[in-house]
A and B are shown apart, each in its own frame.
Chain A
Amino acid sequence: MRALVTFLAARLARALVAVWLVSTVVFVVMRLSGDPVPLLLPPDAPRSEFARVARELGTDRPLPVQYAVFLGHVAQGDFGRSIHFREPAMRVALEYLPATAQLGLTAFVFAVLVAVPAGVVSAVRRNTVVDQVAMGVALVGQSAPTFFLGILFILTLSLRAGLLPTSGRGDWTHIVLPALTLGAFAMASIARLTRSALLEVLRQDYVRTARAKGLREWRVVAKHAFRNAAIPVLTITGLQFGQLFSNTLVTETVFAWPGMGRLAIQSIYNRDYPVVQCVVFLSAVLFVALNFLIELVYGFLDPRIRPR
């Protein structure tokens, strides 16, 4: 129990350091980008106006003070007002969060539902055509750039075959292609890992014993082998879940999915930096929190992971 608490405390500390580093980089980059005041005022505004806005934004104070004030605001989730939406940046970002969460979760569930059975079949039917095709597809899926995969899906399944809509968010058909694109990498990784983990277990003595006892093959695989192969699969699956969210940015842009990633890219084009910073920060916090939760779950699931 003590070991578990130490383990979690160390992980929590690491998560907090990561969030602090992200906000510091956001601050440094913001300062590097130059004076924000001219962005907010017409070029012919009087000097007194410039001074007033600078005082309002705090850019007339020394850098360390600005940094402290910035950290204070970040802690309260205050990133200033969006220049484009004329609303607090945080509120804008949070409005777009549900669409991203929906896409990410769908893609993840989809990836797991396809990848785990595919990996199991590949391992059980090792070196057959099924195995080779599945692993070939997985290899391509693992190295294909997400955005190009999306373009390929749009061209083949949507424009040519006319099966699914190309973009936007509407009924369930709209989410199929983005979810497939976003989940492809996770799907490929999980399928390959499931296969290798299961192959490893199928070599063990207790599997030979189970077979020698005359158990049916599917029972050997399902009861004796798969359960033991599940732990490394679960580990990778958890890591993939976090990784998947960093790809929403590209996927949402390709499919015009109205989520946080697309908001970030559009805010970059609009030079709406408060929103960009807010989205970067919010994603980092969510990602770190997610990873922390996953590690927490492992701590309880697998006692071997706990110490360290």
Chain B
Amino acid sequence: MASSIPVSVPADAAGLEAARGGRVARRTRQLVAAGAAFVALLTIMAVAAPWLAPHDPVRQSLRARLTAPTLEAADGRAHPLGTDHLGRDVLSRTIWGARVSLLVGFAAVMVGGLVGAGLGILAGYRGGWTDTIIMTMADAQLAFPFILLAIGIIAVLGPSFPTLVVVIGLSGWVDYARVLRSQVLVLRSREFVDAILALGGAVPRIVARHILPNVLSTLVVIATLQLARAIVLEATLSFLGLGIQPPTPSWGGMIQEGREYLDSAWWISIFPGCLLLLTSLVVSRSGDWLRDLLDPTLRSE
């Protein structure tokens, strides 16, 4: 990988490590592929929701309220995951709910990534005052729980798709900025950058052609980890009533709606919740595996 910063490995250990590393790397590659397949399936499910979902997710059916998972309910329909307090099909709502999770998740990652990567590259490349200001802002944001402020902002501005995306996105910019800044700092001091400058190369071109490709794998790793975080954050906000508003189905909102009926109709909360848990687990683990594969220097533990 082009991004790897030279790491010194003791000579005698290197061969042994490489042999074991080959096996581990193959396994990690398989795991990453499995994670990617899961996300791809989820995306297909979200995109194809209108065709995949057996019922209209917002259609109410009072005769079939709070029906346990069944193939033949009082309204003559199949509800494999049961119905909620308004008789809406839990399976259809869970499938449609993936749309909100992925849409907000990916959009937030884009916002956070663009802002964070931009500021990180700027800080690393320009240095000086620019660097100081950007990194002070980053430190300040890490110095207190941003989720609290996010909730305050959404509470006042009112929940809407753009507000959610911007707030969730901005809550994650620091990770990109910090890592990219340090990588750009290292890259900038390399001879090839001086050589291009000496040949009359322009700075934006150096960033676009030579620096960005070098930090791309790092960006992908952070974006994957941030996607898991963004999906959980969206679900949390929807659960608190500050996310996507009903009747649009979202996993967090469904878990909230089913909370009152937990004793009698557990399926309303538990099915979307389990899918949320699985998504969060798979995506964040994929990020870890991807990091091991692409960029071992990022390992924090």
Contact = CB atoms under 8 A, between A and B. Distances in A.
B137 A21 contact: yes
Contact of A145 (B139, B145, B236, B285): B236
A234 interface: no
A249 B155 CA distance: 14
A29 B228 CA distance: 27
Given A155-B270, A159-B263, A283 B148 contact: yes
Interface in A123-143: 139-140, 142-143
A144 B273 CA distance: 10
A139 B285 contact: yes
A250 interface: yes
B268 to A, nearest CB: 11
Interface centre among B136, B144, B228 (most CB of A within 10 A): B144
A30 B157 CA distance: 9
A240 interface: no
Interface in B250-294: 252, 255, 259, 262-263, 266, 269-270, 273, 276-277, 280-281, 284-285
Contacts of B228: 143
B156 A246 contact: no
Contact of B148 (A21, A269, A284): A284
Contacts of B153: 25, 29
Nearest to A193: B301
Interface range, A side = 35 or more
Interface residues of B, number: 41
Interface stretch (B57-65, B89-97, B103-111, B237-245): B237-245
Interface string B67-78: 000000000000
Contact of A29 (B157, B236, B259): B157
Given A145-B236, A147-B236, A14 B301 contact: no
Interface in A146-177: 146-148, 151-152, 154-155, 159
Interface stretch (A75-83, A91-99, A207-215, A273-281): A273-281
A148 B254 CA distance: 11
A245 B145 contact: yes
Contacts of B242: 268
A37 interface: no
A284 to B, nearest CB: 4
A277 B152 CA distance: 7
Nearest to A13: B136
Contact of A243 (B145, B155, B232, B273): B145
A17 B140 contact: yes
Interface in B219-246: 228, 232, 235-236, 239-242
Given A139-B281, A144-B277, 8 more contacts: A14-B139, A14-B143, A18-B140, A18-B141, A21-B137, A26-B152, A151-B269, A155-B270
Interface of B: 136-137, 139-141, 143-145, 147-149, 151-153, 155-157, 228, 232, 235-236, 239-242, 252, 255, 259, 262-263, 266, 269-270, 273, 276-277, 280-281, 284-285, 301
The 3 closest A-B pairs by CB, nearest first: A246-B145, A18-B143, A268-B155
11 contacts: A14-B139, A143-B281, A145-B235, A145-B273, A242-B145, A246-B148, A249-B147, A264-B148, A268-B155, A269-B241, A273-B155
Interface of A: 14-15, 17-19, 21-22, 25-26, 29-30, 32-33, 139-140, 142-148, 151-152, 154-155, 159, 192-193, 196, 242-243, 245-246, 249-250, 253-254, 264-265, 268-269, 273, 276-277, 279-280, 283-284, 287-288, 291
